[in-house]
Amino acid sequence: MNTKVNSNDISELILSTNNFLIIQDLDGVCIPLVQDPLKRELSKDYIYSAERLKGKFCVLTCGEHEGKRGVNRLVEKSLGPSRSPSKEGFYLPGLAACGVELQNRFGKISHPGLTEEEVDFLAKVPEKMKEILSKELEHLAPEINQSTKDRIIEVAVCDTRFTPTLNLNELFKLYENNREKIIKLQKMMKSVMESLINESIKQGLENSFHLHMMPNLGMSNGKELMKYATYNDFGTTDIQFIVKGAMKDAGLLVLLNEYIISKTGKAPFGKDFNVKNSPKSLKEMIRLCKEKISSNEMPLLIGVGDTVTSSKDIVTGNQLRGGSDRQFLTLIQELGKSYNKKNQVVFVNSSNNQVSRPKIKGNAMNGISDPEDLLKFNKVMESGPNEYIDWFKMISLN
């Protein structure tokens, strides 16, 4: 069973060492979830805390740093015109786009592993999404008037540079008491995105992209499994069109490589290491770390996420485990065992009145974990992002 420990114990552990690294997701962790991604807000207290932790903190997100929907815009909006994030180092350092958009705290960005052909195709995806979605809604949702459809499509298609995303939160909200309708819309969403994968294959990019579902129920035959709606939560609300290999566990290795470069000047995995050439399995990732990173160089790792799922397949009876944060949190946990370090895994309840998700309350972890789950949480922020931000601020001030 998952176990929780007192937050003071974790705080004392972190503050007792100089060599620690907090690696955290963003949306649902320090940014409350909303139906419309353009309405997200980032706390000024959190931004100042992140700057104080420079060198000991980084983000690992499937969102993006740059663009009109990027987190950099949230930083600028929160701080206002009197501050200059690029001069003062207030941007959030780390990996975005699930591992292909690397940024330092001054906003300097690189894109390790991407080709020009892939970047060009990604740029065309949002308009293709809008076109296909518009046609699908004509027969799947004829009861919605055209102006409402146009607004929903504008919100649903996230035109990010490296992770163009279809987000149907707002559409699902219109049918929140109609589970069967939401499942039909989920199947439509999957069909739209699979048609784009097929288009990329026709253009000679057969090994370039894959679909990332949030949340999901793990993988089967190399593809992520959609979490269909239940009477308790919407299940999969977003599907991202992302670079193949851009997974958060591989991203964690990229961040470790960067961290050790900053400390020693040497890249343990090589200066050209990226998510594409990363090992793919948990076992291989741990083996690479053990071969290339000494115990003295390996920091104490604190992983923070909110998207972890566990549900039983009603047909086979098998337990399906997924979620975009599961793999990197599990890797942090298992690296701790391998290096004999007390790595910490923190879960943040992100469900709220805008976005419905399973949440942990006391020992109840239905939909998130199960007794046989390899991943164990050391701490649960039951009150959500505000509780996490308060804790993060405390760590930064000590």
As to burial, measured by CB atoms within 10 angstroms (0-12 exposed, 13-18 middle, 19+ buried), residue 55 is exposed
Helices vs strands, H then E, count in the chain: 12, 16
Q: Cβ(164)–Cβ(120) under 8 Å?
A: no
Determine the pLDDT at residue 233.
84
Q: 3-state DSSP: the chain helix, strand, coil percent, rounded to 5?
A: 40, 20, 45
Residue 89, phi-psi category: left (phi > 0), alpha (psi -120 to 50), beta (remainder): left
**DSSP-derived secondary structure letter, 37:** G
Determine the pLDDT at residue 7.
52
Residue boundaries of the structural domains of the chain: 7-62+247-396, 116-161+164-243
Q: Show Cβ contacts of residue 37 under 8 Å, excluding neighbours closer than 6 positions.
A: 69, 155, 158, 167
In this structure, what token pair is assigned to residue 61?
């997100």
- C-alpha dist (Å) from residue 24 to 16, 213, 323: 20, 19, 14
The whole-angstrom distance between residue 204's C-alpha and the CA centroid of its chain comes to 28
Tens digits of residue pLDDT in 45-69:
999 999 999 999 999 999 999 998 8
CA distance 68 to 154: 13
In this structure, what token pair is assigned to residue 79?
């701080």
**Topology (CATH level 3) of domain 7-62+247-396:** Rossmann fold (3.40.50)
Q: Which helix (H) or strand (E) element contains residue 361? A: none
What's at 171, amino acid-wise? L
Tens digits of residue pLDDT in 323-334:
999 999 999 999
Determine the pLDDT at residue 2.
47
Strands 165-167 and 157-158: antiparallel
Question: Mapped to the 3 state alphabet, what secondary structure does 87-115 carry?
Answer: HHCCCCCEEECCCCEEECCCCCEECCCCC
CA distance 242 to 247: 9
Residues of the chain where predicted confidence (pLDDT) is lower than 50:
1-6
Determine the pLDDT at residue 164.
94
Where do the DSSP E strands lie in the chain?
20-24, 57-60, 94-96, 101-103, 109-110, 157-158, 165-167, 209-214, 216-220, 223-226, 238-243, 300-305, 309-312, 319-322, 344-348, 379-381
Neighbours of 107 (CB within 10 A): 19
Determine the pLDDT at residue 219.
87
Q: Cβ(122)–Cβ(162) under 8 Å?
A: yes
